[in-house]
Chain A
Amino acid sequence: MTIQRNDWSLQRKGIIDQERHKERVREAIRKNLGSIVSNEAIILSDGKRTVRVPMRALDEYKFRFDFRKQKHVGQGDGRTRVGDVIAREGAPGQGKGAAQAGHDPGAEYYEAEVNIDEIAALIFEDLHLPYLQEKAKKAVHSRKTQFNEIRRTGVIANLDKRRMIMENIRRNAREGQGARFGDIKKDDLRFKTWEEVMRYESNAVVIAMIDVSGSMGEFKKYIARSFYFWMVRFLRTKYDNVDIVFISHHTEAREVTEEQFFTQGESGGTVVSSAYQLALEIIKLRYPPADWNIYPFHFSDGDNYYSDNDEAVRLAEELIATCNLFGYGEIGEEGSASYRRASGALLSIFNDRLKNKDHFCGVRIDDKEDVYPALKHFFGRRGIETPA
């Protein structure tokens, strides 16, 4: 019977295998981006940096009993009776006992703690603003002067005194007068010089339009928001200088703040052209196409007033003519992937009637899992000009 205390500071095994586990998590995320992109925990994360998402790929599969069909033995406080309900489904195993590796049959699946930034990096890996061009006029985004070199000649105001003293001492020492300061000659002078650094950038504005009419139910709004959630995040991480304009519309359109855009709910009918009209006005006033790359995106359920369709198509043509890419996402009823809408829906009208579809990109979303493909569709690899 002895007591010892050793140095365990080199013990790293747990940490190494933790890394292996994290690797598995990353792998699983990569494989399941489709469902993770539209996971509520992330979209509604509200600024938290990590979220828990169910991760089936990390289950340790075994032959085991169906927990829900098994009889279990429990312990009460002395007053239990047959017929008492002790828990409801959905929250069975409250208070898990001592953590036992992988044998908690109560948990239906394993939830991994994931960092949103990490997921974002994976999602954004292949995304770009398509047809991005360098716009002439505002191309010089900023001009900065940077002192980055030392020379023997220069303006006396830029004299680097510290270096000059060092050089002086060094020269004195070299010439056998001891390492002392004094007797400054022209040789000792050192000047800081600068360079002008120009930052070339393309200016871009994204106009995010969302349909908030009565027919946009919870599911549809959720889809639109998860798309925009990632889009906004994507634009802000990858591009320094992207303006985002938020427009919501039902029968009328108005420009709203980001917060309103993501939270407000409304009702009423749908006049799509109102949003396009407003977008065109904003472009005209604030974002002249000569100076800006412009990307309008619109999400709707396609349930436009019949009488407005002609106008909507006409304005869409105009948007396409002025902008780099016009993206339109049409959201169907939840889980109705096979069900095709009658020709009254906007997407099919666009597909039929738009004359110039080169810079038009239409996507249909019927399922949460479609959000990620839509992102890839809109921001995929196309129209990327190899830099000159």
Chain B
Amino acid sequence: MEDREINDLEKSLEQIWEVARRFGLDPYPTRFEIVPATVMYEVGSYALPGRYSHWTFGKAYQRMKTMYDFALSKIYEVVINTNPAYGFLLETNSPIQNKMVIAHVLGHVDFFKNNIYFSKTNRRMVESVSTHAQRMMEYEFRYGRKTVERFLDAVLAIEEHIDPNFFMRHQMTPEEERQRAQYTRREGRYDDLWNLDKSASGTGVPPVDAADHASDEHGRDAHATQFPQKDLVFFLMKNSPVLAAWQRDVMAMVHEEVEYFIPQMQTKIMNEGWASFWHARIMREMELTDNEHLEFAELHSGVVSPQKGKLNPYYLGYKIFENIERNWDDPTPEAREKLGRRGGEGREKIFEVRELESDVSFLRNYLTEELCEELDLFVYELVEEEEWTISEKRWERVRDQLVANMTNFGFPYIEVQDGDYNGNRELYLKHRYEGTELDMRYARKALEHVQMLWGRTVHLETMVDDEVTVLRYDGEEHHES
């Protein structure tokens, strides 16, 4: 890209920012980086620049790059939730593409800053992950790359099973904070002695070695363990009888990074919808030539077009925000009367929605009958092992199914029931069955990973063919009962 083009782009940025501000968007200051495709795919596949190394990132990178090389897909934009925020622009983007991406990114950053689910995210995450990467590298050096890699394989198998409300649940009361300040001191080799009476007091969790406490760099206190526990990663990190200090540290790092990503997983549809909504509005205000208008229209419809059979989160979120604005700007007489909508409140309403909702509540509250019909949404399932068939079109059912699939970011809800099962320090997990069975082959393999982290026999209770089934893995063999 030539300097002249960059100057032009800087001018456009000023204009776009001006328009966005008039609309009431309130993003963090944002730095746009112009990067080559390789960097784009790198940031895209790691989700944050500078994270630790693992082959799964390489796999994602290779896939993205291949898609790009074969022109199957192209990432226009990557945005990082930090303060200041980062937006990455592909150096081969056309000027119009860049303008649209800038407007889109500002929408995302406004969302990051103002949506309640992001209120606790670490805005200096790029620094955090780079210190993680540094530590991970030291562990690789000290314990061997393969050892660290295998261990990470196991941790990543359960990385999504953390508590999204971790912050709130583990926030210390002022009293705790005061106590902690009083006792804060460097950990030593006799720490296990100090903790003996505390941990042996019949919580169902046997005492663990000192290494455990050394690794607790979050400064969160392990409250007396109450079951069930939603946070698998945290529970294993704190209570596993077999992990070394460095392994607990690796788990803490993974936990921290997943915590950071969880709000993004919880608001995918809203976030993309919001950004698309605003790039459309902002671009409408820009002075574009006819050709530019045409190019933009094509681009925009590419982004928000429905994919055959699948649900495009950009499109769905975009349509819902449009729909909300319309219904609050110009309510039906019925809505005026029954719901007390006064009209003309569209703008105000969508800003409120972007602040308070997550995908689950967004869909439950604002996916209306008219939208379901307009978008032609349906539920489909596999019939007789062979044909994917549309089984439901009633809008409430469609909405509820969509909400159900979003719950727990689309992962089965698994919790720790007991850390001393059979009185033998075995781990008992339970899948809260809500109508969909687990992929059993995957479940068995994932259980092997959990067993490695726990070091003793692990159990997983779930439902198969409407019957309670318990998978058990003892480190050598799988059992089922």
Identify the A interface with B (CB < 8 A).
1-6, 8, 11, 13-24, 58-89, 92-95, 97-99, 101-103, 105, 110, 113
Contact = CB atoms under 8 A, between A and B. Distances in A.
A61 B157 contact: yes
A55 to B, nearest CB: 11
Nearest to A100: B60
Contact of A65 (B13, B45, B316, B438): B438
Interface residues of B, number: 94
A15 to B, nearest CB: 8
Nearest to A70: B436
Given A3-B13, A94-B308, A19 B58 contact: yes
Contacts of A14: 38, 41-42, 45-46, 57-58, 61, 65
9 contacts: A20-B58, A63-B414, A73-B379, A73-B401, A76-B376, A76-B377, A87-B309, A89-B386, A110-B59
Contacts of A21: 55-56, 58-59, 61-62
A81 B311 CA distance: 17
Interface string B72-85: 01010000000000
Given A21-B62, A65-B437, A66-B437, 9 more contacts: A5-B6, A14-B57, A63-B161, A63-B442, A64-B439, A74-B380, A85-B390, A93-B310, A94-B309
A2 B32 contact: yes
Contacts, number: 250
B3 to A, nearest CB: 9
Contacts of B448: 61
A66 B462 CA distance: 13
A62 to B, nearest CB: 6
Contacts of B390: 74, 76, 80-86
B62 A75 contact: no
Contacts of B379: 71-74
Nearest to A21: B58
Contact of A3 (B6, B56, B309, B393): B6
B45 A85 contact: no
Contacts of B439: 64-67, 105
Interface core residue of A8, A72, A97, A103 (most chain B CB under 10 Å): A72
A11 B376 contact: no
Contacts of A16: 53, 58
B391 interface: yes
A63 B398 CA distance: 25
B32 A18 contact: no
A115 B474 CA distance: 38
Contact of B58 (A8, A11, A17, A71): A17
B431 to A, nearest CB: 7
Contacts of A8: 35-36, 38-39
B446 A6 contact: no
B6 A66 contact: no
Nearest to A6: B33
B147 interface: no
A71 B401 contact: yes
Contacts of B9: 3
B411 interface: yes
A74 B391 CA distance: 11
A20 B39 contact: no
A102 B160 CA distance: 13
Contact of A86 (B45, B149, B160, B388): B388
A68 B34 CA distance: 42
Given A4-B31, A73-B311, A13 B436 contact: no
Contacts of B377: 73-76
A95 B310 contact: yes
B56 A63 contact: no
Nearest to A1: B17
A-B pairs, top 8 by smallest CB distance, nearest first, are A17-B58, A21-B58, A14-B42, A61-B445, A76-B376, A101-B60, A14-B61, A18-B58
Contacts of A72: 379-381, 401, 405
Contacts of B157: 60-62
A1 B219 CA distance: 35
A68 B436 contact: no
A5 B62 contact: no
Contact of A99 (B63, B160, B414): B63
Contact of A88 (B387, B402, B414): B387
Contact of B310 (A19, A23, A75): A75
B13 A97 contact: no
A310 B315 CA distance: 76
Nearest to A105: B439
B376 A79 contact: yes
Nearest to A79: B376
Contacts of B414: 63
B479 interface: no
Contacts of B386: 88-89
